């Protein structure tokens, strides 16, 4: 056998079937693809790439648009009330007085006292509620109103056994309680 034939036989039977041979084959293939791509692409722009950075920060909001953050630093909006209607604080105070109710009041009478101060959605949610299930007896502090928008307000009322949070809405300028949340002390 000639030396060339033995070299080819060694290459085919041993070297190319080993891990080293496969790794060398993959490396040659990758270098061939990269080299061919560079030849086809032609000369590149020497100024392109990482050295071509913008001179100013990239922004997605125009600088004069204002604050686009989640937390507003501006003053809270003032709730809008229709003339002659009670303010959100007055509605919250009346609702709490009706919610706490008087001892011995029937459930229908209790819900009837809440109905004019509640949205239809809250009235439906309170359909099965009983005045005996109210976990508080008396108000222990002043109503705190937090305006969230011109037509949405959150009222916090401290009670003897915890705190009551009311969400009030006024889509047409008349404030009504839309949600009641109780937090035990």
**Other C-beta atoms lying within 10 Å of the C-beta of residue 71:** 5
Average pLDDT value for residue range 16-27? 81
What is the number of helices (H) and of strands (E) in the chain?
5, 4
Average pLDDT over residues 112-120: 91
pLDDT in tens, 132-173: 777 767 888 899 999 888 899 999 999 888 888 999 999 888
Predicted TM-score of the model (pTM): 0.59
Give the count of alpha carbons within 13 A of 116, CB side only: 8
pLDDT score for 29: 92
Percent of the chain exceeding pLDDT 70 equals 80
- pLDDT of amino acid 63: 61
pLDDT of 127 above 80 = yes
What is the pLDDT at residue 72? 58
Give me the pLDDT at residue 144, please. 92
The reported pLDDT for the residue numbered 74 is 62
> What is the average pLDDT value for the chain, to the nearest integer?
82
53/55 Cα distance (integer angstroms): 6
Of residues 152 and 128, the one with the higher pLDDT is 152
């Amino acid at each position: 056998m000639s030396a060339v034939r033995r070299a080819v036989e060694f290459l085919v039977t041993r070297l190319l079937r080993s891990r080293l041979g496969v790794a060398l084959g993959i490396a040659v293939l990758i270098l061939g693809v990269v080299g061919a791509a560079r030849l086809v692409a032609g000369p590149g722009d020497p100024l392109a790439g990482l050295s071509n950075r913008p001179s100013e920060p990239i922004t997605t909001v125009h600088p004069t648009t204002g604050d686009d953050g989640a937390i507003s630093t501006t003053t809270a909006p003032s709730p809008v009330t229709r003339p002659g209607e009670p303010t959100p604080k007055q509605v919250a105070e009346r609702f709490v007085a009706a919610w706490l109710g008087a001892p011995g009041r029937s459930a229908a009478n209790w819900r009837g006292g809440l109905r004019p101060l509640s949205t239809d959605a809250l009235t439906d949610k309170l359909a099965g509620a009983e005045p005996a299930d109210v976990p508080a007896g008396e108000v222990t502090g002043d109503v705190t109103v937090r305006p969230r928008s011109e037509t949405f307000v959150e009222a916090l009322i401290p009670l003897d056994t915890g705190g009551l949070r009311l969400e009030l809405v006024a889509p047409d300028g008349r404030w009504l309680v839309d949600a009641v949340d109780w937090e035990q002390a």
